[in-house]
Amino acid sequence: SQQGEEDPQALSIQEGENATMNCSYKTSINNLQWYRQNSGRGLVHLILIRSNEREKHSGRLRVTLDTSKKSSSLLITASRAADTASYFCATGDRGSTLGRLYFGRGTQLTVWP
Amino acid sequence: DTEVTQTPKHLVMGMTNKKSLKCEQHMGHRAMYWYKQKAKKPPELMFVYSYEKLSINESVPSRFSPECPNSSLLNLHLHALQPEDSALYLCASSQLDTREKLFFGSGTQLSVL
């Protein structure tokens, strides 16, 4: 299976601290995406990093990709209580047919005020 | 308009009922998806439509029947479901490229009694 594995499964921090989540995957990819999901709601796309990129920033988000280690990390800086959610990495196999996007198990982030 | 709209938000049905989930997008996306998500698990791909044609069926039981009447609408017809089919059903859409992001609806929380 191509499914990513997030680490840690749960993370609890105070507001203002940084949160780092890691994702590992198994085979070659086109890109790696991170999504956020509030409890019982749909997923929201956060950031996409392509296989030829090593780092990408979007606001308080920083994503890194190491294709040699088949891993990615998502850093949320200066976290807020509103960042409390589940975070999923998702990958599509290089050369895969349309739509086969595999989601990891997710990291549940809790940010305490 | 960057929304994917799903109705209903909640659905309770008996095992002998027939019901339908509906999904609509007006972003001009030609790929649409159904995902199933159990509590505390990642979304699992069920079906993919591209140009209103079914392109991927992830070995989903026939009691789930998808339909794409036009480029903006996606339905999921439900019949003779089992209690283990209770889950959050998510619709998503994207440009016709697996390397691009998915836009998700907020989901239908389905309970089968």
pLDDT value, residue A64: 98
Please tell me the distance from the alpha carbon of residue A29 to that of residue A95, in angstroms, as a whole number.
8
**For range A70-94, the mean pLDDT:** 93
* Confidence at A1, pLDDT banded by 50, 70, 90: very low
User: B25-41 pLDDT, tens per residue?
Assistant: 999 999 999 999 999 89
Closest among A90, A88, A94 to A21, alpha carbons compared: A88
Below-70 pLDDT ranges, chain B: 1-2, 97-99
Query: Which class for A78: exposed (0-12), middle (13-18), buried (19 or more C-beta within 10 A)?
Result: exposed
Residue among A45, A98, A105 minimizing CB distance to B101: A45
Name the more confident of A7 and A21.
A21
Tokens encoding B79: 């019949």
Q: Which residues of B touch A (CB under 8 A)?
A: 4, 6, 31, 33, 41-45, 48, 50, 55-56, 88, 90, 92, 94, 96-107, 109
Tokens encoding B11: 């659905």
pLDDT value, residue A31: 87
CA Rg value for chain A: 13
Interface size A-B, in CB pairs within 8 Å, comes to: 72
Closest among B33, B16, B28 to A103, alpha carbons compared: B33
* Confidence at A95, pLDDT banded by 50, 70, 90: low
Interchain CB distance below 8 Å, B98 and A103: no
Q: Which residues of chain A lie closer than 8 angstroms to B29, CB-CB?
A: none
User: A29-71 pLDDT, tens per residue?
Assistant: 888 999 999 988 899 999 999 989 999 999 999 999 999 999 9
